[in-house]
């Protein structure tokens, strides 16, 4: 299964949750993103799952060797965004649900 197919499965799993919207057509930043009430919490970027979590949780995942800070090609890693390395031991579903929960905390 390709990463695009994996992401499609993730989208199908989460769009039934109230407040979650699927990726929108287009090519700009966030066009391949799952959003909770308009805020991006998970997206597919350059073939990798990227999620928004707390700074502490991202640091923990990076220290555990599960991935790295997301860099939007600006040369500066983003402290609250995590890029999951492939192959990964972490479940895409669990990680995306954690990011969704984190997005809901900002209500």
Instruction: State the pLDDT at residue 55.
Output: 95
Supply the pLDDT for residue 29. Answer: 65
> Residues with Cβ < 8 Å from 102, sequence gap 6 or more?
41, 52, 53, 54, 57
Helices (H) and strands (E) in the chain, counts: 3, 6
* pLDDT confidence of residue 27: 66
- How many CA atoms does the CB half-sphere of 57 hold within 13 Å? 14
Please tell me the predicted confidence (pLDDT) of residue 107. Answer: 45
Nearest-angstrom CA–CA distance, 30 and 50: 11
- Read off the pTM: 0.90
CATH number of 3-104: 3.90.1150
Spans in the chain with pLDDT lower than 70: 26-30, 106-107
Please say whether the beta carbons of 49 and 7 come within 8 A: yes
């Amino acid at each position: 299964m390709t990463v695009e197919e994996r992401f499609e499965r993730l989208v199908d799993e989460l769009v039934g949750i109230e407040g979650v919207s699927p990726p929108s057509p287009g090519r700009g930043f966030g066009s391949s993103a799952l959003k909770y009430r308009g805020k991006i919490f998970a997206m597919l970027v350059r073939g990798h799952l990227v999620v928004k979590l707390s700074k502490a949780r991202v640091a923990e995942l990076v220290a555990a060797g599960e991935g790295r800070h997301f860099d939007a090609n600006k040369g500066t890693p983003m402290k609250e965004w995590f890029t999951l390395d492939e192959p990964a031991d972490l479940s895409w579903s669990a990680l995306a649900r954690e990011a969704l929960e984190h997005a809901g905390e900002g209500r």
